[in-house]
């Protein structure tokens, strides 16, 4: 896939780039002239951590820096070139996501106009262009996830595994994609999906225990697991060697054990606040994990073969059932939404608009109560908590609509076992 991007995509990307540049410049002006900053607080944390790293200190000396040292390393030019260097990197990643969306959809034989509309869903989303220009690093993660998809689609298992190990080190949440990726790397399924357009191509494996075991531990799966795991542990080991327990606690363990009693979109926040300081029983801890685990397993077992759709549903569910939800997490599934739209039977009127209205409405409802609590000092904890229940139900309902209206589209076709060594071909 080395052909030049068509003119319309080029115009779209250039226009989006110019707009993001303008936003970054505006952000600099607002930061200098107004009390309320345009720049995200997190960006200041990254920048401070990068300055510390530049001076030879640990980035974890900066309180609330809970990211990989790689991020601070990426932002070293903030201290040398310009403080907005990081924003340019994040916005460039945001544009790269747009390009990757186009590339993936083109490879899946989607029509040109539908490709461009899908790219616009990402590039013209107000949430998307503010997040990079305000200095949030999530677009980098999104770009890596999409690149992993492209590598998998093109059979580049090792490359996919390297980037996967790196992205899990960087952000941890992509670990939820490990099982569907492993499942999709299976060239010899016994109950193979048979696409009707491919005559004469059938999986014809004799199924026995040995074949099942061989299939479970296929070369691709073992390779992916070993390489990605190796990269993850290499990064972890390297940074532990450099920054000791500070790195492990702040960049890894904090995210695994995080239970923030402060209000956020999660249904669990009030429960955590009311129980704060009390030792929870094992049953109580398990119960809080159960909904998330059940949903993830069911989604993976049903949709793994349609990898982008599986990723999308898993991510929405992961965010919705998480113990802490902040608005930046939404971009994790916004970047996957354009990849599934061409196979959705959802009409804009009124299913699409209904889903947008329900999701945005639930969010705005929560924000209203949040404003009354934070800025007016009113005790609306109960109402805020109920708003978070409504938000969870809204997320679940939107997911149900997507599931009902999605045409299943496996990312790989099965080919005749005897004709191929790899046994996998991209659709």
Partner 1 sequence: MIERLPSGVFADPFELDHLLHHGAYAAIGVFGDTNLELPSVSSNRSAVEIHMNFKHNTSSGAMSELGIRIDLPLHARYAPLHESGYSEVAFGTPDLLVSCSMEGSSEKRSCLIVPSSDSNRLRTDVVVWKIPCGIMSYTNVVSVVTFATALVSTLVIVLPSVLYSKPR
Report the interface residues with partner 1, using CB under 8 A.
35, 37, 41, 44, 63-64, 193-194, 260-262, 267-268, 270-271, 273-277, 287-288, 291, 294-295, 298-299, 302-303, 313, 317, 320-321, 373, 377-382, 385, 389, 392-393, 395-397, 399-400, 403-404, 407-408
266: tokens are 């999660």
48: tokens are 């401070």
- Contact (Cβ atoms closer than 8 angstroms) between residue 24 and residue 133: yes
Q: Whats the size of the chain, residue-wise?
A: 427
Q: Which is nearer to partner 1, 39 or 91 (CB)?
A: 39
Q: Which is nearer to partner 1, 212 or 389 (CB)?
A: 389
d(CA 123, CA 92): 11
- What phi and psi, each to the nearest 5 degrees, are found at residue 5? -65, 140
Q: Which is nearer to partner 1, 94 or 306 (CB)?
A: 306
Q: Which is nearer to partner 1, 139 or 370 (CB)?
A: 370
Q: Helices marked H in 248-352 — which ranges?
A: 254-257, 269-274, 282-303, 307-320, 331-334, 337-340
In angstroms, what is the minimal distance from the CB of 259 to partner 1?
Answer: 12
Q: DSSP assignment, residue 352?
A: I
Per the listing, tokens 């939800």 go with 325
CA neighbor of 57 nearest in space, from 247, 252, 332: 247
In angstroms, what is the minimal distance from the CB of 63 to partner 1?
Answer: 7
In angstroms, what is the minimal distance from the CB of 130 to partner 1?
Answer: 20
- Contact (Cβ atoms closer than 8 angstroms) between residue 68 and residue 232: no
In angstroms, what is the minimal distance from the CB of 373 to partner 1?
Answer: 6
Q: DSSP assignment, residue 416?
A: -
Q: Which is nearer to partner 1, 15 or 357 (CB)?
A: 357
Strand partners, 235: none
Q: Which is nearer to partner 1, 109 or 241 (CB)?
A: 109
In angstroms, what is the minimal distance from the CB of 44 to partner 1?
Answer: 7
Q: Helices marked H in 197-268 — which ranges?
A: 209-216, 219-247, 254-257
In angstroms, what is the minimal distance from the CB of 305 to partner 1?
Answer: 8
In angstroms, what is the minimal distance from the CB of 272 to partner 1?
Answer: 10
Q: Which is nearer to partner 1, 92 or 259 (CB)?
A: 259
Half-sphere exposure for 207 (CA within 13 Å, toward CB): 8
């Amino acid at each position: 896939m080395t052909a030049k991007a068509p003119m319309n995509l080029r115009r779209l990307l250039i226009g989006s780039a110019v707009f993001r540049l303008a936003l970054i410049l505006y952000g600099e002006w607002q930061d200098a002239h107004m009390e309320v900053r345009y720049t995200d607080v997190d960006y200041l944390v990254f920048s401070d951590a990068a300055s510390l790293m530049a001076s030879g200190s640990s980035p974890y000396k900066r309180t609330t820096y809970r990211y990989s040292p790689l991020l601070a390393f990426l932002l070293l030019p903030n201290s040398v070139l310009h403080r907005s260097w990081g924003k340019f990197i994040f916005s460039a990643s945001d544009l790269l996501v747009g390009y990757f969306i186009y590339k993936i959809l083109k490879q899946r034989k989607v029509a040109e106009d539908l490709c461009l509309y899908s790219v616009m869903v990402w590039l013209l989303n107000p949430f998307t262009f503010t997040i990079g220009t305000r200095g949030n690093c999530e677009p980098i993660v999104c770009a890596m996830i999409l690149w992993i998809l492209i590598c998998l689609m093109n059979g580049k298992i090792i490359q996919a595994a390297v980037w996967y190990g790196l992205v899990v080190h960087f952000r941890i949440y992509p670990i939820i994609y490990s099982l569907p990726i492993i499942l999709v790397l299976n060239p010899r399924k016994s109950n193979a999906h048979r696409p009707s357009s491919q005559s004469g191509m059938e999986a014809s494996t004799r199924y026995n225990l040995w074949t099942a075991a061989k299939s479970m531990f296929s070369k691709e799966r073992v390779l992916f697991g070993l390489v990605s795991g190796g990269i993850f542990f290499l990064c972890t080991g390297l940074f532990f060697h450099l920054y000791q327990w500070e790195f492990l606690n702040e960049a890894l363990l904090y995210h695994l054990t995080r239970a923030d009693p402060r209000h956020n979109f999660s249904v669990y926040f009030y429960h955590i606040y009311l129980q704060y300081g009390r030792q929870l029983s094992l049953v109580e801890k398990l119960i809080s994990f159960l909904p998330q685990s059940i949903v993830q397993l069911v989604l993976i077992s049903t949709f793994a073969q349609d990898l982008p759709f599986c990723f999308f549903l898993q991510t929405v569910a992961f965010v919705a059932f998480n113990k802490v939800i902040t608005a930046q997490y939404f971009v994790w599934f916004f970047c996957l939404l354009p990849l599934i739209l061409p196979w959705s039977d959802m009409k804009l009127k009124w299913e699409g608009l209904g889903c947008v209205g329900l999701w945005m409405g639930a969010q705005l409802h929560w924000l209203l109560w949040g404003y009354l609590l934070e800025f007016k000092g009113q005790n609306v904890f109960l109402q805020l908590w109920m708003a978070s229940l409504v938000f969870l139900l809204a997320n679940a309902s939107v997911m149900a609509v997507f599931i009902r209206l999605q045409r299943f589209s496996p990312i790989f076709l099965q080919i005749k076992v005897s004709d191929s060594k790899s046994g996998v071909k991209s659709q």
